[in-house]
Amino acid sequence: MMQRRQSAGLSNWRKFLRLAYLLLLFTIPLPSWSANGTLLPGSVGYPRLVRLAHGPQATNGWIVASTTGMLYESKDDGKTFTFLGKAPVRPGSRLRCCETLYELPQTVGSLPAGTLLYAATYSLEDVPKSLSPQTESNAGDPHHRGVPEIEVYTSSDQGAHWTYHSTPVMGRGEKGSGGLWEPEFSVARDGSLVMFWSDETYLCCSQKLSKIRTSDGVTWRDSSDVVATAVSADRPGMIVVSTLPTGVYFMSYEICGDPLTGHKCAAYYRISRDGWNYGPASYPGARIENAQGQYFEHAPANIWSPSPLSPNGVIVVVGQVLHNADNSVAQQNGTVLFVNPLLDGSGPWSTIQAPVEVTHSYDNPCPNYSSALLPVQDGTALLELATDFHALNQCGAYFTTKSWTEMLRANSATPKHK
């Protein structure tokens, strides 16, 4: 009996010590790793920004932002954002990820200039078994349930209300597996609306980059490859296209089987003169790097912006993780952008300080993943919307604006890698 009482007492003492440890753990202030800037309430990942410029005069200049499933607007040039509404989802579909926002700069067939487009990866879940024979066998797997598709929605009132427009691509293709991801829009020189996306459903490769277009604003046609190399591990993805003042189309994307470094998902680019032809699909493109050989890895995005660096402005590129030429993670990781005054992307890039700094960025779908940039204050500053963890397993988008003067001054004071 005595031995039992001693064991019970020891057990209680251990419970007390464990409780005391937990209380101590939760009362010790932990370092803050969150990005600088203002957290967008209710936001999650994959941020996007678009400035309205081709619709009603009263709303031109407003900014519409999105994170997956959530829409916001700013009427004060990105100083503040208010919740606009949830992203559109038609009955029978489920929104998955990887959205894009795009305002039509000109009329495309039945779609007038100023139409706001929203597209994302969806899963059509209420479908006949004949269309989705894998639905039943994979009912417990959210990555394979239903039929993958990219749905397009339009808004004629600056994102307040949405109408389902079309599904340019759907299904699991030749493989009978895989997904359709990361849509992106641009208007080509011939006036057609082009949609790009990442496609896992073909036997040629683990993933390829594809394009399709519509000239009448209704019918999608001419599906073809943009980047489809013979190396399965390459997995090119995440196209972002900017139309430059010179008329050149600048495209950034990642290639995950980088033959130069052995690292995955380095940022590459290519250009087009007509917005449809970007060179041979087998060509991997040119890697984006600065004079020191530093390069971005994962989730690149780009914009054109006015800049004191050039009377023609610059191309600005952001990526998730910054690496040195020796493939080590750079000291400035998560805190800088690349800029290039040569509006074809040629020549070495240089760095400037990023508006939002995510100092612990790493290979993860949250911190600094596919950040969004936009010129503000009549081109004298940049607005950035970048994601980071703000609580345990809670990812949100932070926004802030920095003037070009601030970004260049801060960057000149930052120690450079040697």
pLDDT tens digit string along 54-77? 999 999 999 999 999 999 999 999
| Domain boundaries defined on the chain | 44-228, 229-418
Helix H or strand E encompassing 101: strand 93-103
Q: How far apart are CA 49 and CA 64, in angstroms?
A: 6
Q: What percent of the chain has pLDDT over 90?
A: 77
Q: Which residue has the tokens 């691509």?
A: 169
Residue 21 in this model has a pLDDT that exceeds 90: no
**Mean of pLDDT values over 6-30:** 44
Quote the pLDDT of residue 411: 74
C-alpha separations of 372 from 229, 294, 319, 355 in Å: 28, 21, 10, 11
Q: Which residue has the tokens 């009377």?
A: 311
pLDDT tens digit string along 220-273? 999 999 999 888 889 999 999 999 999 999 999 999 987 666 778 999 999 999
Helix H or strand E encompassing 7: helix 2-27
Strand partners, 148: 123
C-alpha separations of 112 from 161, 213, 275 in Å: 16, 16, 20
Q: Which residue has the tokens 């290979």?
A: 363
Least confident of 182-196, 251-265, 332-346: 251-265
Annotation: CATH topology of 44-228: Neuraminidase (2.120.10)
C-alpha separations of 408 from 43, 244, 371 in Å: 29, 22, 20
Check whether domain 229-418 has CATH 2.60.40.1580, yes or no: no
As a residue count, the chain comes to 418
Contact indicator for 272, 249 with CB cutoff of 8 Å = yes
pTM for this prediction: 0.87
